[in-house]
Amino acid sequence: MAHGCNTPCVEVRDGRAGAVLILDAGTGIMGAAGALTSGTRVARVLLTHYHWDHVQGLPLLAPLYETGWAAEIWGPRLGGAGAESIEALFQNPFYPVTMRQLPSAPTLHTVDGTELEIAGFHIAAQALNHPGGALAYRVRGQTGDLVYATDHEFGTAEHDQALARFVRGARAVILDSHFTPEELPGYRGWGHSSWDQCARFAAQHDVGQLWLFHHKPGRTDAEMGRIEAAAAGVFGPTRAAREGVSFEV
């Protein structure tokens, strides 16, 4: 499948410094492993929240099992819990190897503020409307900014207005388009949005490029093609995220 079956994971690369930052650690993190080995032996992961689909790839991150690596994981403070929450992934009954047993056990950092810097990446954070909480990130680029805002449900004025300010003028925005407009009414409160909401939102807030993301499991490439075309009819520079696709900001 061109659009893939992996759960969320996005690689951000600084071509000048050679640094790599991975946004979320879904099963797609398996595809990012090759990019890590081509640079310095440092694996850096920034999580938006701790739901299974965004962290389930962490135990599959190859550098954790090789000596000589430095692994660093950042995660938000949500409901009083921070990055230490991911240690549960490496405990029984979920996994046979504890975090302390890993050859290159990660250093955990909790994101407490609205701005941070990781290996030269300048990043702003913004709360999203999602059960249990989640953060969007705006990463400063050489010629424009990337906004990664997966797992957001439109419809709450406070969150929507804040997100509008957050994305304005970004060169590229990755948005949660999990549902179609027809599906959405049956999933209120699930913390996801439709492609139509995303396209209209991008059109209203000076966004350069929209990437539809967090596809509903089971979508075929044909379905995704129809969704992409319909969304582009609302906001022209729209594409549906695919496995292995890349772009510059």
Per-residue pLDDT reduced to its tens digit, 178-206? 999 999 999 999 999 999 999 999 999 99
Could you tell me which of 227, 196, 230, 232 has the C-alpha nearest to residue 3? 227
Per-residue pLDDT reduced to its tens digit, 47-74? 999 999 999 999 989 899 999 999 999 9
Q: How confident is the model at residue 18 (pLDDT cuts 50, 70, 90)?
A: confident
Per-residue pLDDT reduced to its tens digit, 224-247? 999 999 999 999 999 999 988 888
pLDDT of residue 222: 94
Per-residue pLDDT reduced to its tens digit, 144-175? 999 999 999 999 999 999 999 999 999 999 99
Report whether pLDDT(17) > 80.
Answer: no
CA distances from 227 to 155, 210, 247 (A): 21, 13, 20
pLDDT of residue 249: 83
pTM: 0.94
What would be the CATH architecture of the domain defined by 120-242? 4-Layer Sandwich (3.60)
Report whether pLDDT(36) > 80.
Answer: no
Rounded distance between C-alpha atoms, residue 78 and residue 91, angstroms: 21
Mean pLDDT score across all residues of the chain = 93
Q: What residue segments make up the domains of the chain, in order of their start?
A: 1-112, 120-242
Could you tell me which of 19, 3, 32 has the C-alpha nearest to residue 223? 3
Could you tell me which of 52, 56, 50, 65 has the C-alpha nearest to residue 28? 56
Rg (alpha carbons) of the chain, rounded to whole number: 17
pLDDT of residue 1: 59
CATH superfamily of 1-112: Ribonuclease Z/Hydroxyacylglutathione hydrolase-like (3.60.15.10)
Would you say the CATH fold of 120-242 matches that of 1-112? yes
pLDDT of residue 228: 97
Report whether pLDDT(39) > 70.
Answer: no
Q: How confident is the model at residue 8 (pLDDT cuts 50, 70, 90)?
A: very high
pLDDT of residue 53: 96
